[in-house]
Amino acid sequence: MNKKLLTGCVTLVCIFLFCACTRTPSLSVSGLYSDNFEAEKNGQKTGLYILKNDKGMEVCVTNFGGRVVSIMVPDKGGTLLDVVLGFDNVTDYMEIPSDFGASIGRFANRIAQGRFTLDGIVYELPKNNFGHCLHGGPNGWQYKIYEVEKVSDNSITLVMNSPDGDESFPGNLTAKVTYTVTPDNALEIDYQATTDQPTVINMTNHSYFNLSGNPLNNILDHILYVNASCFTPVGRTLIPTGEIVSVAGTPMDFTVPKAIGTDIDNTEYEQIRFGNGYDHNWVLETKGDMSVVAATLYSPVSGIKMDVYTDEPGIQIYSGNFLNGTVKGKHGITYQRRAAVCLETQHYPDSPNRPEWPTVVLRPGETYKSQCTYKFSTLTL
């Protein structure tokens, strides 16, 4: 071989190797590096998936727990802000117990005493919250890896194959969750599931929202509206009593928009005392109509407004009461109490033990479907 040609080839190889070793990891608008979400567990791989629209909205999703990691939307001045809590690497999601952004399954919220009866068979579930089963148990889907079925610039579909006996729930169940960023700055979430045995299912998204874009601020100044004149009161361990009670004249009344902090510390009211703030299910009056607003959240600091739409009968509102400053999230920020609020669209808690409430039973040949849309805009009051 010609000496000059050989030297040139060697030089090209060295340049290629140098570039390969010093490549810059892909960086999202929210400041997340994709390399920090690459891992392998039990033969399954995790990654970070970046969804966008043409207006600059960006949503980052990891298939570990089917989690929303970041949501970037414009504030009243046009600056993009991240409005959800989370971690900036998959290791923290794996090692620090949390529900940040997760696709919860099989059963979101609580099942009393970790027990329910279906077709005469009693099922005993793991107990991980005051003697009850919460969010599918200690090894719920938020701690498992979803398969990536398909992904595009603005959408991703994740699949969970849950075997019979998964956290003691019956039936081999296949569930899908699809996240889609729309042209009008909305995040649409669609759930579907099928089973080969009678089972129960109740999926939701557990994003922690802080619409100020700065989780150093609490959410007590956020203005909240809930399209619900009733809620399901709970006992001391947050299990519904079975009643459906009017919100009128109580701290639970958000039929007229008000700041979350207005009544959140009114511990003379038993439900606030039991929940250490808000951690309750509201009975929506939307009747499954996706065109009717179920709830609205607004930050007077950023001007960001989020409208929630769902075909579910209820919405659980949790005001971050148990965040306690021990968890460090994205950009090294420590999450303090009430640094965020969750708006979880779902069936009512403990529905498997309340046959008079909308059913959560899924049978072979049926398809479970659920929808939730978080639509973002700006408003100046």
Residue 7 has pLDDT above 60, yes or no: no
* C-alpha pair distances (Å), 174 with each of 18, 124, 206: 44, 21, 20
**CA pair distance 324, 238, nearest whole angstrom:** 19
Q: What is the pLDDT of residues 133-159, one digit of tens each?
A: 999 999 999 999 999 999 999 999 999
Contacts 24+ apart (CB under 8 A), 68-72: 68/101, 68/179, 68/187, 68/205, 68/207, 69/30, 69/32, 69/37, 69/101, 70/28, 70/30, 70/32, 70/330, 71/187, 71/207, 71/374, 71/376, 72/28, 72/29, 72/30
**Catalytically active residues, by annotation:** 206, 344
Q: What is the pLDDT of residue 76?
A: 97
| Residue with token string 């949390």 | 98
Residue 232 has pLDDT above 70, yes or no: yes
**CA pair distance 370, 178, nearest whole angstrom:** 11
In degrees and rounded to multiples of 5, residue 92 shows phi and psi of: -65, -40
Residue 45 neighbours by CB distance under 10 Å: 13
Taking only Cα atoms into account, the Rg of the chain, rounded to an integer number of angstroms, comes to 22
Question: Mean pLDDT of all residues in the chain?
Answer: 94
Residue 24 has pLDDT above 80, yes or no: no
Residue 380: band (very low, low, confident or very high) from pLDDT cuts 50, 70, 90: confident
Class of domain 34-378: mainly beta
Contacts 24+ apart (CB under 8 A), 263-268: 264/220, 264/319, 264/338
pTM: predicted TM-score of the whole model, two decimal places: 0.93
Residue 26: band (very low, low, confident or very high) from pLDDT cuts 50, 70, 90: confident
